Amino acid sequence: MGGVLALSRAVELHTEIQGRLEASGFEDVTVTGEENEALNTVICNKKPRLVIIDSWFYQDGTPYRIGELVKLFPKLNITVVSVHDFPVSRAPWFIWEGAKSYLSLWEGYGEFQRGLRIVREGKQYISPKVQKLIEHCEEWPDTKSRMTKRQKECLVMLCCGLIPVQIGEILHISRSTVYNHLNSLYSAFHAGSREEMIALAWEMELVTPKDIRFYNRKKERLPLPEWTAMKRKCDRFYFD
């Protein structure tokens, strides 16, 4: 078996990531940003004993894509590392989809280092908050149900402002398949449009503010009208 294969989209940080993992005691570390078929080829060639993947590697579709990897490589030992505040409520899906371990920097640096040490020793580690949440669930969801889990991923991405083409690219499925899943959602929730489905998802708390990521970063570039500042001020006063 090969060494460690770390997956990160931040190409400019690959050397730093490799150095940090090696400083933590991991040997023969390779960092890559390859995905989909190219990633499958890397795995076939390297045959890693451990795969470490950033929780946001496939954006909101990372749990789903991990499930696809495990189908192709049943013996793959996958550890998910969250350094970007992945929503805890959705983190159990990494384990349910087939990842062996889950580490979160947001549970404290000391705990994070303990998790790295356990994973390096070849054992399973799940961060305390996620482990507690998994134990709270009486049974695991049927992740083999392609329709159910793809609907879930499509719904979250829809609420994140992604269009069907972008959702398809992330999940590696066709645009028509995305539309089929969205139409199934509209039918299940009796929603007449995408906008109504998004409104229902918020009203029923199927998504939370922590689920939302706007990857085009429009919110950081656009000048906002004056009323937005006043609304934020009023909201902070009322809710705080």
Mean per-residue pLDDT pooled into runs of 10, the chain (240 residues): 88 93 94 91 94 90 88 94 86 93 94 96 95 84 62 87 89 88 88 90 85 64 78 74
Q: Residue 38 carries which side chain, given as an amino acid letter?
A: A
Structural domains in the chain, CATH included, are: 2-136 (3.40.50.2300), 146-239 (1.10.10.10)
CA distance 60 to 65: 10
Provide the pLDDT for residue 98: 93
Considering only CA atoms, which of 130, 143, 11 is closest in space to residue 68? 143
Cα-based angle 30, 31, 32 (whole degrees, multiple of 5):
120
Helix (H) or strand (E) holding 81: strand 78-82
Provide the pLDDT for residue 142: 63
Q: 170 to each of 36, 103, 162, how far by Cα in Å?
A: 9, 23, 10
Reported pTM: 0.70
Provide the pLDDT for residue 27: 93
